[in-house]
Structure 1
Amino acid sequence: MPEDLCAIDDELKAIYHGPDSVCVWVFETREDRNRFVEETAGMKKAEREAVFEARFRGQP
Structure 2
Amino acid sequence: MLRLDGADLGYGGAPVLAGVRLHVAPGERVALLGRSGSGKSTLLAALHGVAQARGLRV
TM score, norm. by length of structure 1: 0.28
Higher strand share: 2
Higher helix share: 1
TM score, norm. by length of structure 2: 0.28
